[in-house]
Amino acid sequence: MKVKAVFINKPGEVETRWVDYPHKKENEVLIKVDAAGICGSDIGAFRGTNPLVTYPRIIGHEVTGIVLQEGAGMPGNINKGDRVIVDPYIYCGHCYPCSVGRTNCCENLKVIGVHVDGAMQEVVTHPAHLIHKIPDNVPSEMAPLAEPLTIALHALHRANVKAGEYVAIIGAGAIGLMAALSARHYKATPILIDIVEERLRYAQKAWRALCAERR
């Protein structure tokens, strides 16, 4: 049995082709993919500007889907048939960064779609403990945005943003816009800075954001 997958064979060459149906390990889940985002790192993989990507590679790490088969270690609130989003950062759990809770700095980190094959395929396996249930009120086509949203939130948390403050955000791309929206949630005022006027016009129209064009 085969499933379709999106491959980048080499920079500038992308195709959809058939691959073997994945077979999960005991500590993995099997997921039917129903939505995927295209990240800047995916574009970098296509352009050949992402130094971490090896080819050929199945791309995709902003992914949601439905659990087809359960696995050991799966969160207790998730069952077969539930919609989930994957945590794409597969860490070892044994190195020093992992031991102090800095799993994003794992010495053996593998990011799906970058170091190992990603999830732009019809069915995919993933470590059972690295999935999260999608709330019923979140559409599947929006849920992949949770991954870039966490990046924006992490920056705001590191900056310890407080209500009433002004927050300068350099770059009005997807993550920059999410950072601006999140800053407003914290009752701060975001100031978006970008060299692309079209991005700033969109931000002003959508959210009446304060914008500054860098020339």
CATH number of the domain residue 44 falls in: 3.90.180.10
Name residues whose C-beta falls within 8 Å of residue 100's C-beta, 6 or more positions apart in sequence. none
Mean pLDDT on 21-29: 97
> Binning pLDDT at 50, 70 and 90, where does residue 96 land?
very high
State how many domains the chain has. 2
The CB-side HSE value for 15 (13 A sphere, CA atoms) comes to 8
- The average pLDDT across 57-86 equals 97
Determine contact, residues 87/78, Cβ cutoff 8 Å. no
Co-location of 166 and 131 in the same domain: no
Range of the domain at 99: 2-135
Ramachandran angles phi, psi of 83, nearest 5°: -85, 135
119: in domain: yes
103, part of any domain: yes
On whether residue 15 sits in a domain, the answer given is yes
Query: Looking at the structure, do residues 120 and 20 belong to the same domain, yes or no?
Result: yes
Q: Please report the DSSP string for 45-104 in residue order.
A: HHHT--TT--SSEE---EEEEEEEE--TT--TT--TT-EEEE--EE--S-SHHHHTT-GG
171 and 121 part of one domain: no
- Examine residue 140 and state whether it is found in any structural domain, yes or no: no
pLDDT tens digit sequence for 178-200 = 999 999 999 999 999 999 989 88
Q: Are residues 122 and 168 in the same domain?
A: no
pTM, to two decimals = 0.87
Closest Cα partner for 34 from 3, 66, 78, 76? Answer: 66
Residues 25 and 131 in one domain: yes
Same domain, 117 and 169: no
76 and 113 together in one domain: yes
